[in-house]
Amino acid sequence: MYEWYLSKKLKSKNFVCGHCGSDITTNIGYHMTNKGESSDIGSGYIYICHKCNKPTYISFKEQVPGPLYGKNFLKEIFQDERTYKLYEEARQCMKINAYTSIGMCCRKLIMHIAVDCGAETGKTFAYYVDYLDKNNYIPANCKKWVDIIRDKGNEANHEIIILEKKDAKQLLSFIEIIISVIYEMPYQAEKYMENTDE
């Protein structure tokens, strides 16, 4: 018989909470034991995040929900709320290992962001990547990423190629930098100026 026990003294566990993205270490939660059954599904734990109070199931093999990747951005930094929603969707995909979907979200994000930056609508993905590059929206040290993004973004949409976790993580990291440079930094500069004016 399998039973869950509340425990305040579990083995201490470090993990990134899939709900709030905090990197936490906790020993508060529940553990499951298998009493006398012949089948063995192993032990499992439910740890409670002390930042957001939500539960995460952790076993030897898996963490559910998986860790939340990507930076938390304020909704108000985005010109268009849809861009924020799409970025959040890409982050949520990471929690359920939907890596190819992340590629498609990132591709769409680049197109939206380029249009926000003045690009024409109805163009190809490659056009939008070039637009951001040529208009210096992509930082000089990230230039090598332009080709990678162009390739991976195209793969996810036009060919039946399944993206892997490392591809998805890198795409998300790139998008995070782009959002930071294009939306967050100007927003912060404006806030800074407002505060120094007073």
Binding mask 44-63 for Zn ion (x = CB under 5 A): -----x-xx-----------
Q: How many CB atoms sit inside 10 A of residue 99's CB?
A: 20
Q: Per CB under 5 A, does 68 bind Zn ion?
A: no
Stretch that binds Zn ion, among 9-17, 65-73, 107-115, 161-169 (CB under 5 A): 9-17
Q: How many CB atoms sit inside 10 A of residue 105's CB?
A: 24
Phi first, then psi: give them for residue 189, nearest 5 degrees. Answer: -65, -40
Instruction: Look at the block and give the residue holding tokens 């869950």.
Output: 4
Closer Cβ to Zn ion, 55 or 153, answer by number:
55
Binding mask 125-164 for Zn ion (x = CB under 5 A): ----------------------------------------
Distance CA 182, CA 159 (A): 29
Size of the site for Zn ion (CB under 5 A): 6
Closer Cβ to Zn ion, 62 or 164, answer by number:
62
Closer Cβ to Zn ion, 50 or 85, answer by number:
50
Triad 188, 67, 62: Cα angle to 5°: 175
| Least spacing, CB of residue 52 vs Zn ion, in Å | 3
Q: Per CB under 5 A, does 20 bind Zn ion?
A: yes
Closer Cβ to Zn ion, 20 or 181, answer by number:
20
Cβ neighbours of residue 28 closer than 8 Å, sequence gap 6 or more: 8, 10, 47, 48, 50
Angular region, 105: left φ>0, alpha ψ -120 to 50, beta rest: alpha
Two structure tokens written together for 156: 């996810």
Q: Per CB under 5 A, does 17 bind Zn ion?
A: yes
Q: Per CB under 5 A, does 19 bind Zn ion?
A: yes
| Least spacing, CB of residue 56 vs Zn ion, in Å | 8
Distance CA 26, CA 49 (A): 7
Stretch that binds Zn ion, among 17-25, 120-128, 146-154, 159-167 (CB under 5 A): 17-25
Note the residues at the interface with Zn ion (CB under 5 A).
17, 19-20, 49, 51-52
